[in-house]
Structure 1
Amino acid sequence: MHPMLKPALRRAWRSAGTVQFGVTHAHAVKFGPLDIATGSFLELLDGTRGLPLLREEARTLDLSDHQVDTLVGSLADAGLIDDVRAAGPETDALRNRPGALDRHRPDLASLSVVHREPGGGMRRLAARRAMRVQVRGAGRVGAAIAAVLSGSGVGRVEVLDGGHTEPWDVSPGGLPPTAVGERRDTAARQLVRRSAAGAAPRAAETAGSPGGGEPGLSLVVVAPRDGLSAYAPDPRSAEPWIASGTPHLYAGVMEATGVVGPLVLPGGTACAGCLALERAARDADWTRMLSQWRSGRRTAVQACDLGLATAVAGLAAAHALSFLDGELPASTGTRWEAALPLLDWRPERMEPHLDCSCGAAGHTGRERSSTSDTRQDTMAG
């Protein structure tokens, strides 16, 4: 291990014996007490020295080996130590792609702040390369989500959509003007390749087994060009994902209203079928109106403001990445909604329905259990 103080956390002395790492309430940590010697020792924690060399240099500061080990251990327990040489075949493969690693340094810095354990950021960034995500929709929202996921290190990002790119599909973070007239799926694949930091991994790298083969889907992001399919998703379209246990996240824009979520964990949180049953129970006319909205051929251009579409795509991609990194983001079993012009994001909890065949109603207590330790509030008091 080559300990390094996490460089993404800015450092300041609160008092003569206390250092604060980090600025924001969410991630700031107060550490102390420190005297002149231990404060000087902090400058040695830059990732260039292993513990034996750190102990040797610390002796010039009159610090014993025990003091060094205790201090490094306390810093690590506080989530302030990173290990730039975190071991493992996936992290080694990432280091062997220096150009890609340079592209991902902001992502790596963010992951190091969020995940406390030394080397946790590097391991999660490397793990993304073995993941396969499917984005359903290549409009202003879906294409931008696919680009962000690919640019964030997800190894395989597939985009499914039909037809040809229209001028109103174009967006700064999504399909370019040159894609107009091209098949949407072809243009989206090109966008994914351009957004990635290097070539896509070979099948043997992502299969998770020596025999190779296509990896299973880690997540499906449903971001249809027709926002109604995200706002009121058809339960029939989700049946294969429910049956296979594939997590899926809805996102879209409907009539100048942005929607992110719910993230559905099959059998654990409310699914599209639960949403349909609950809405029909609240509004006796809903099913009749919905069938009318879904029927017929729509020729009008969707009310999908570019700023709102970009915000929805960014938030959905961030939630997707949080899930892929092992967390349960706030969209798990919850839909976030914001409408122009005020853009006040509000959550709506989606409860599993007892009459839904997905079976989630019997598991409502488990979906919020996090897959990682809860960060302690170090700023209290």
Structure 2
Amino acid sequence: MSDTDHPLLPPATPLLLRAADTVQVGGVDSGVGLVVRPGAAELTALLRGLDGRRPQRAVLTDAAESGFDPAAVAGLLDGLRTAGLLVDLDAADLLAADAGPAAAARTTAELPAVRGHPGGRPRWAARRRATVLVEGATRVGVPLASVLAASGVGRVCISDRGPALAADAVVGGLRARDEGRPRALAAADAVRRASPLADVRPLPEGTTPDLVVLARPWAAADPLATGWQRSGIVHVVATVRGETGVVGPLVVPGRTSCLRCADLRRRDADPSWPALAAQLTAGEVPPSGSTITCLLTAVTAAQQVLAYLDGSGAPAALGATVELRPPDLVPVRRPWAAHPECGCLAAPGRSAATPSGDSRGPALGARETVRGQWDQERPDRGPLRTDDLRPP
């Protein structure tokens, strides 16, 4: 933490009166919380005032002017951070937010979920700089693009050359009235409905996205997928095959197994697979999947994309597929190890491909979560009390 960080206590964080002199911060459904004894209306007002617009030094100055002990307030803020209840913004996050009260309200709702690493620093500015290309304005691709735009991804482009069909309509995606329109234009309108200020313009020639989502049936030998692999562009499959939602593999060229690896593994298990795969991707595949399957697939894929862009942990789809089969739709992970005949891990390219402006590379480690409700303890004086927030 630095004095320039802007502490934000999400507005939806519960502030509950456990007793006449005790306030509980959070810790309801998530099991993460902090209890402060004794609590008071002044303390609740101080906490509600943590709106992310002031640096910590300004928060402490204002607290002192209100009669609180700045050192005790700083200790309280540290306790909230340790419990995972406080989000520290930085200037880049604030500058990256869209202007206007409606956009600010949406941004505030999204920010608590945008954490770059276990230390808790948000990555909102990185999301705003990122560009995602969705190949396929499908019943998965369009809701997925809408979720990404609403979650703060700065530029979300959808590529599709076909006309919209009545069967393409889905909640959060194309509408029945879009039938006959170019899918790409109808999809752009759907994204704007979810996020009115989203940049949905097609990418200029020669510009590469940070990540590509393959939202229609793909063959491992497809020239586009092969080109992304050779160029080092991160890509992930998100589609419905038959009635099963499939997310992954998420391919980081040079670092994870690729689409061809999975194809070769299938061939090893079934020599007839090449002929079957060719049939699966021959011609226009009709829209498929129930609404709930498509939406759950889109949300699952969006989570994988955002985990990669944020650098917040190892997405489950790295070198694997996450499959959602009706009727229970419980995610099942199927790993696809690199195939010795492929050689993709030795292939040249942007093997350290990362979102724009991020030099850390994609996070491949697990993320830990702080859990459990606890009191803010200090070795010298016990639980933090309201009286301790005031100067002697």
Q: Which residue of 2 aligns with 1:163?
A: 162
1:246-273 CA-to-partner distances (Å, cap 9, x unmatched) read 1111011111111111211111111111
Asked if 2 retains the 8 angstrom alpha-carbon contact of 1:131 and 1:156, the reply is yes
The aligned amino acid for 1:359 is L
2:344 corresponds to 1:358:
yes
Map of 2:304 onto structure 1: 319
For 1:266, the aligned partner's letter is: P
Contact 1:233-1:272 within 8 A present in 2 as well: yes
Which residue type is aligned with residue 219 of structure 1? L
Superposed counterparts of 1:99-178, under 5 Å: 99-111=102-114, 120-121=121-122, 124-178=123-177
Distance 2:6 2:103 in 1: 22
Matches within 5 A, 1:299-310: 301-310=286-295
The equivalences for 1:1-381 within 5 A come to 3-12=7-16, 19=24, 21-25=26-30, 28-31=31-34, 34-36=36-38, 41=43, 43-45=45-47, 46-47=49-50, 50-59=59-68, 64-83=69-88, 86-88=90-92, 91-94=94-97, 96-111=99-114, 120-121=121-122, 124-198=123-197, 200=199, 216-224=208-216, 227=217, 229=218, 233-234=220-221, 236-295=223-282, 297=283, 301-327=286-312, 328-359=314-345, 369-370=364-365, 374-378=368-372
TM-score, scaled relative to structure 1? 0.77
Quote the residue 2:377 is aligned against: none
Assess if the C-alpha contact under 8 Å between 1:18 and 1:30 holds in 2.
no
Q: Distance in 2 between matches of 1:68 and 1:305?
A: 51
SS in 2 for 1:99: helix
1:133 CA displacement: 0.7
What's the secondary structure of 1:348's corresponding residue?
Answer: strand
- 2:172 touches 2:190 (CA, 8 Å); kept in 1? no
Residue 81 to residue 116, structure 1, CA distance change in 2 (3 Å)? farther
Report the Cα distance in structure 2 between the residues aligned to 1:201 and 1:288, rounded to whole angstroms.
Answer: 37
Unaligned runs of 5+ in 2: 52-57, 352-360, 375-392
Share of identical aligned residues, percent?
Answer: 32
Q: Is the 8 Å Cα contact of residues 139 and 287 (structure 2) preserved in structure 1?
A: no
Deviations 1:198-253 (A, max 9, x none): 263999xx99xxxxx986411100001xx4x2xx6446442221222211110111
> What amino acid does structure 2 have at the position aligned with 1:313?
A
Give the Cα–Cα distance (whole angstroms) in 1 for the partners of residues 224 and 306 of structure 2: 23
Using the TM superposition, give the Cα deviation of residue 279 of structure 1 relative to its aligned residue in structure 2, in angstroms. 1.1
Question: How far 1:8 moved relative to its partner?
Answer: 3.4
Return the offset for 1:177.
2.0
Q: Distance in 1 between matches of 2:6 and 2:274?
A: 61
Which residues of structure 1 form unaligned runs of 5+? 208-212
**CA–CA separation in structure 1 for the residues paired with 2:39 and 2:251:** 52
Other structure's SS at 1:163 match:
coil
Which residue type is aligned with residue 106 of structure 1? A
Preserved CA contact (<8 Å) 2:247 2:297:
yes
Distance 2:200 2:240 in 1: 32
Higher relative contact order (CA 8 A, sep 6+): 2
Counterpart of 1:102, as a letter, is: A
Aligned mates of 1:40, 1:335 — CA distance in 2: 51
Matched residue type, 2:38:
I
* Matches of 1:184 and 1:326, distance apart in 2: 32
Structure 1: which amino acid aligns with 2:192? R
Compared with structure 1, are the counterparts of its residues 368 and 194 closer, same or farther at alpha carbon in structure 2 (3 Å cutoff)?
Answer: closer
Shift of 1:40: 6.1
Deviates more, 1:338-347 or 1:241-250: 338-347
Distance in structure 2 (CA, Å) of the matches to 1:236 and 1:95:
37
Deviation at 1:330, TM superposition (A): 1.7
Size of the alignment, in residue pairs?
349
Report the residue type matching 1:306 in the other structure. Answer: T
Query: 1:106, 1:115 → 2: CA distance?
Result: 19
| SS of match in other structure, 1:332 | coil
Change (3 A) 1:199 1:316: closer
Alignment partners' CA distance in 1, 2:25 and 2:102 = 33
8 A contact 1:235–1:276 mirrored in 2: no
Distance 1:74 1:315, change over 3 A: same
User: Equivalent residue of 1:355, what SS?
Assistant: coil
Instruction: Write the letter of the residue equivalent to 2:323.
Output: E
CA deviation after TM superposition for structure 1 residue 131, in Å: 1.5
Report the Cα offset of residue 56 of structure 1. Answer: 4.2
Aligned residue type for 2:310: D
Alignment-mate amino acid for residue 196 of structure 1: S
Instruction: Give the secondary-structure state (helix, strand or coil) at the position aligned to 1:174.
Output: coil
- CA distance, structure 2, for counterparts of residue 199 and residue 291 of structure 1: 36
Describe the superposition over 1:319-373 as per-residue Cα deviations: whole angstroms up to 9, x where unpaired.
Answer: 2222222223222222111222332321111211222121179x9xx98733x96
Structure-1 separation of matches of 2:222 and 2:346: 14
What CA RMSD, in Å, does the superposition of the two structures yield over aligned residues?
3.7
